[in-house]
Amino acid sequence: MKTILNIIWLVFGGFWLAMGYFLAGIVCCILIITIPWGIASFRIAGYALWPFGRMVVDKPGGTGVASTLGNVIWILVAGIWIVIGHVTTAVAMAVTIIGIPLAIANIKMIPISLMPLGKEIVPTSRPFVPTYH
C-alpha cells in the first residue's frame, strides 16, 4: 500500500514539492554560509519525493541554540514559501477521495518544512525509543 500511495503522491505533487526543496538546497549551497540549510533541504527533498513508510523524529541529543536560530532564519527565508506550496498542493489533493490521505501527508510535512534543522527522517519500521535527559 505504501508503494501505491508513494507513486500516486509522486505523480500528483510530490515531484514538484521535491523540486522546490531541491532548488532551495542549491541556492543555500551556493551561498557558503547557508550550506547546513542546503543539506537539510536536500534531505527533505528525498522525503517529499517518497514520504510514505518514513517519519520525522527529533535528532538524538535535542536541538541546540544554533539549530533554533537556524530554524528561525529558515522560516523567514524559505520556510514560509515552502509551507504555502504544501498547503496549496494539499488543498488540490483533498478534492478527491483518493487524494485525502495525500493531503494529510502533505499537511504533516509542514513542521519539517518550517524547522528542518534538528530533525531526522527514519523508516516507520524503525522503533522509536525516546531518550530522556
The answer, as to whether pTM is greater than 0.85, is: no
Asked whether residue 132 carries a pLDDT value surpassing 80, the answer given is no
Asked whether residue 131 carries a pLDDT value surpassing 80, the answer given is no
Domain count, the chain: 1
Q: Which of 22, 4, 17, 8 is CA-nearest to residue 88?
A: 17
Query: Is position 133 within any domain?
Result: no
Query: Is position 128 within any domain?
Result: no
Q: How confident is the model at residue 91 (pLDDT cuts 50, 70, 90)?
A: very high
- Condensed to tens digits (0 to 9), the pLDDT of residues 71-80 reads 888 888 888 8
Which domain does 103 fall in, by range?
2-123
- Condensed to tens digits (0 to 9), the pLDDT of residues 37-60 reads 889 899 999 998 888 888 888 877
Q: Which of 16, 13, 37 is CA-nearest to residue 93?
A: 13
